[in-house]
Homo-oligomer: A and B are copies of this chain.
Amino acid sequence: MSHNSIGHLFRVTTWGESHGPAIGCVVDGCPPGIALTEADLQVWLEKRKPGQSRFVTQRREPDTAKILSGVFEGVTTGTPISVMIENEDQRSKDYGDIAERFRPGHADYAYFAKYGVRDYRGGGRSSARETACRVAAGAIARKVLGEAIAIRAAVVQIGPHRIDRSRFDWSETENNPFWAPDAAIVPVWEQFLDETRKAGSSTGAVVEVEAQGVPPGWGAPIYGKLDAELAGALMSINAVKGVEIGAGFEAAQLSGEDNADEMRMGPDGPEFLSNRAGGVLGGISTGQPVVARLAFKPTSSILTPRKSIDRAGNEIEVMTKGRHDPCVGIRGAPVAEAMMACVLADAYLRHRAQTGGGAFQPGRDSRS
């Protein structure tokens, strides 16, 4: 049991604070013989990197990942892969005034109550900077999964503004700084976020993440369900307050007929006529795309003064200066992809362990 690890067989442990010398992760259990370079990590870290548009934090971090172990002559060796990312732009002076103060909506008070001590610089361990390690681990997970599995995320809501799902186009996500799959929403979000930022406020978002190509059979009853693992992994991302799979909360108002995805036989095996299940039934993948959505709360660091207390128990007002994402959900999209990748890599190895891998197909396979 480890508070800072995730996964069972594809096991990721992260460490580091926002303003310490470095952050990093150790990935244990990676299969051997997989081609892996630092560039394979960097491509995904670039997606999460701060400072890429006016809509995200202006902290400047190169986020250069170094692989310190577990890779030899370009391939994984099956031993732990240690990845380190040095912190470079650590303007600690920005944060000195919060050493004794609990910022509303942040983990400051909770950490103090639990530990009695905390690294207050930039949120320390509770900073979203930790998510760079998730992205690095996710990059390795993608290599484990191989190219047959495609994982991608889109932002589908910012504040009250949702995309029009009839215009959903994955290719659009690369064309705007929001990972928006609907070109028409982009100017709406631009204007909304500019207003939000000027008002010294912040806003929340909803991200949708999808994995295509997941074969049937991954996951397991009862507490090792694929959707349960996914829910835990996604909820562990900073600022996430809700997770849903497939139809999600919408399923509560569906009828049994509308909810249960019907099946037919296609040329390559079973096919489903809809995907309300989000690719998971009984905790096990069905072969349909695995679909999850996650809700991010608004960034808690805002310029508007808010009531709080300090460590001495004094009542104070807190106003958070510094460089912050007005909508942390935007940079959450690559992080959600990374968590999906890590959970799937783990499920893949667990499935292979118990069954040898593969899936039984109706009309073709039989135990008897």
Contact = CB atoms under 8 A, between A and B. Distances in A.
Interface stretch (A37-45, A53-61, A170-178, A221-229): A221-229
A146 interface: no
A247 to B, nearest CB: 6
B225 A235 contact: yes
A310 B362 contact: yes
Contacts of A13: 2, 5, 13, 26, 28, 80
Nearest to A232: B232
Contacts of A167: none
A241 B236 contact: no
Interface in A279-296: 280-287, 295-296
A150 interface: no
Given A116-B33, A235-B225, A242-B242, A204 B105 contact: no
Given A3-B220, A70-B15, A233-B228, A278 B241 contact: yes
Nearest to A196: B255
A260 B309 contact: no
Interface in A22-74: 22-24, 26, 28-33, 66, 68-70, 72-73
Contacts of A247: 241, 297
Interface residues of A, number: 167
A70 B2 CA distance: 14
Interface string A99-122: 000111111011111111111000
Contact of A296 (B79, B225, B251, B283): B251
A91 interface: no
Contacts of A243: 231, 235, 242-244
A224 B3 contact: yes
Contacts of A270: 109, 309
Given A253-B204, A349-B354, A281 B106 contact: yes
B116 A367 contact: yes
A323 interface: no
A82 B365 CA distance: 28
A365 B273 CA distance: 45
Interface in A171-207: 196, 201-206
B273 A77 contact: no
Contacts of A244: 241-243, 249, 295
Q: Which residue, A102, A251, A265, has most C-beta atoms of chain B within 10 A?
A: A251
A243 B116 CA distance: 31
Contact of A286 (B109, B311, B312): B109
